[in-house]
Structure 1
Amino acid sequence: MLYDVLIAPFADFDFMRRALVGIAALALGAGPIGVFLMLRRMSLTGDAMAHAILPGAAVGYLLYGLSLPAMTLGGLVAGFAVALLAGAVARATELREDASLAAFYLVSLALGVTIVSLKGSNVDLLHVLFGTVLALDDATLLLLAGVATITLMTLALLYRPLVLECVDPGFLRSVSRAGAMVHLLFLALVVLNLVGGFHALGTLLAVGMMMLPAASARFWTADITRLTLVATLIGIASGTVGLLISYHFGLPAGPAVILVAGGAYLLSLALGPVGGLMRLLLPVRHLEA
């Protein structure tokens, strides 16, 4: 019985195994990125950047159809362009960077949907917006694995300045001039992971795999190293359970994965030992003299 429910879908069907590998690779890269976005109070930046890649991917689709290289390159160019433009506007005017990003991402979302609609059908639009995690081919799996590898290697090199910037950015600026470069490299990793996630979960859901596991992990530990590990494990578990629910109940796979990640967040919010609601409602008694 348990074999039929938990193992048989992955043992019997190649597309389920590919989806699981793709989700696991996405969680390995996006989970740690989501943790640092959360700690740097940039959670909504991930959502804005996810929408920002859409016009570039849509132009790639308009020119070459559902071509992995064209849509990936277009998404990267659009994501970096919006990040740089938002930063430039924030520095040249009185508009804050978050407001600038919001303006750009709204325009990007509308422009991307319009471009896809010019050539494609409703099915193509759904593919772009919500992804096709059950139809990952070898090239897409290699892309996701490559993104995860680059992300983990770069984070290993930038780990100390990233942690310092989260804890005490003023101190980092006083001891090093690398803060701006670290910030730009981190934004590049955000865009890279969102472009990878775009092929599996679409532009609307890719950020969910980045932020929901990170937010869930925050209720279980306050240590940054353990946060990244817990967020990654929650992401992989959410992907596995979401794919199984999708298979057994005939639900769309991408939304099922994100709904399970959302369920993990609600469970963590309720039961997490670090700031969870249960902990607040039933505080642990301390030793009394």
Structure 2
Amino acid sequence: MMSLHDVYQLAVGPFQEFAFMRRALIATFALALSSAPLGVMLTLRRMSLFGEALSHAVLPGVAIGFIFFGLSLPALSIGGFLAGVIVVALAGLISRYTEIKEDASLAAIYVVALALGVILISGHGTQLDLLHILFGNVLGVDTEGLLLVAGVSTASVLLMAALYRGLLLESFDPSYLAGSGGRGVLYQQLFLMLVVLNLVASFQTLGTLMAVGLMMLPAVSARLWHDTLPAQLLNSVVQAAAAGYAGLMFSYYASMPSGPVIIVCAGGFYVLSLIFAPRGWLPRLLRRPHLRA
């Protein structure tokens, strides 16, 4: 039978022994603090797939940064952010001057952007470089990367707190916000910039293909547990942080890639929420009238 000391060593030992595990854990917690609440706001606006599209759309900018500067984190981050901003602007212009809706135009652009990014990286790097950018390497986060993630997380939390009331009004009643003199378009653009910024910060840990996972899975799960927005925001952060910790532990002991395991753990919490949450399958089944009779 395992003693408390054995359990403690099993749960904390890798982080005490290895600096790269501590950096990975801190980076994951920082991303959970900022990305998951943004995911809740995206689901509130019925823009869940928007984050998925943007996470792929940053790839050409990352690829261009890689071509000129190699695996330089500042260059990759700046390139990815600019690419995300350009894609958002293009999707808005297309929906404004044509009959194509913004989500449809974004879907068309991101597919092309993803393919273009893969071509650029494949033509100027190795297969390992491509895998690193597509799937990330959370255990390879260095001090520079950790500072970037922490900075983005801090700025995102502060900006979301400052814009909270405006974002709620713009989400629930944009016409009222416009009529009261509020700048709904400004709130929307600032919010989308925060989404792009967090996806760029996530790509070096989870890769461009999976960066949206830590943003959306805990957010969707949280909506199954709570009716109020503050509770959903808090729940999403806790689930994302728990998925990050569990994913790092499983990947360490099972020698599996950390990024995908983190997302699988977040998916596991989602499945549990689908079954046991107040809005999930089991409580709804138990509330059926014929079961109470």
Classify the TM-score, shorter chain: over 0.9
Distance 1:267 1:164 in 2: 32
2:195 pairs with 1:190: yes
Aligned to 1:234: 239
2:97 pairs with 1:67: no
Q: Of residues 141, 158, 161 in structure 1, which corresponds to 2:166?
A: 161
Q: What is the RMSD computed on CA atoms of the aligned residues? A: 1.2
Aligned to 1:279: 283
**Once the 2 structures are TM-superposed, how far is the Cα of residue 163 of structure 1 from its aligned partner?**
1.2
Distance 1:87 1:196 in 2: 23
- 8 Å CA contact retained: 2:178, 2:184: yes
Distance 2:234 2:20 in 1: 27
1:72-221 alignment runs, 5 A limit: 72-221=77-226
Q: Of residues 35, 43, 50 in structure 2, which corresponds to 1:45?
A: 50
Q: Which moved more, 1:220-229 or 1:168-177?
A: 168-177
Distance 1:284 1:160, change over 3 A: farther
Distance 2:172 2:101 in 1: 22
Q: Quote the sequence identity (%).
A: 50
Distance 1:82 1:239 in 2: 29
**Once the 2 structures are TM-superposed, how far is the Cα of residue 140 of structure 1 from its aligned partner?**
0.5
User: Deviations along 1:63-122, whole A, 9 cap, x unmatched?
Assistant: 111001110110011000000000000000000000000011000000000000011111
Q: Which moved more, 1:239-248 or 1:163-172?
A: 163-172
**Once the 2 structures are TM-superposed, how far is the Cα of residue 284 of structure 1 from its aligned partner?**
7.7
Q: Which runs of 5+ in 1 are unaligned?
A: none
**Once the 2 structures are TM-superposed, how far is the Cα of residue 225 of structure 1 from its aligned partner?**
1.0
Aligned length: 285
2:22 pairs with 1:25: no
Q: Which moved more, 1:159-168 or 1:149-158?
A: 159-168
- Letter matched to residue 269 of structure 1: L
Distance 1:18 1:265 in 2: 26
- 8 Å CA contact retained: 2:29, 2:244: yes
Distance 2:144 2:38 in 1: 23
**Once the 2 structures are TM-superposed, how far is the Cα of residue 259 of structure 1 from its aligned partner?**
0.1
- Runs of 4+ residues deviating >6 angstroms: none
Distance 2:169 2:268 in 1: 31
Distance 1:3 1:229 in 2: 26
Distance 1:284 1:10 in 2: 47
Distance 2:32 2:228 in 1: 19
**Once the 2 structures are TM-superposed, how far is the Cα of residue 177 of structure 1 from its aligned partner?**
3.4
1:161 counterpart SS class: helix
Distance 1:101 1:6 in 2: 42
Distance 1:2 1:250 in 2: 20
1:176 counterpart SS class: coil
- 8 Å CA contact retained: 2:170, 2:187: no
**Once the 2 structures are TM-superposed, how far is the Cα of residue 226 of structure 1 from its aligned partner?**
1.2
- Letter matched to residue 76 of structure 2: M
User: Deviations along 1:1-52, whole A, 9 cap, x unmatched?
Assistant: 2123211111111111110000001111101100000100000000000011
- 8 Å CA contact retained: 2:56, 2:114: yes
2:226 counterpart SS class: coil
Distance 1:17 1:63 in 2: 31
Aligned to 1:56: 61
Q: Which runs of 5+ in 2 are unaligned?
A: 1-5
Aligned to 2:3: none
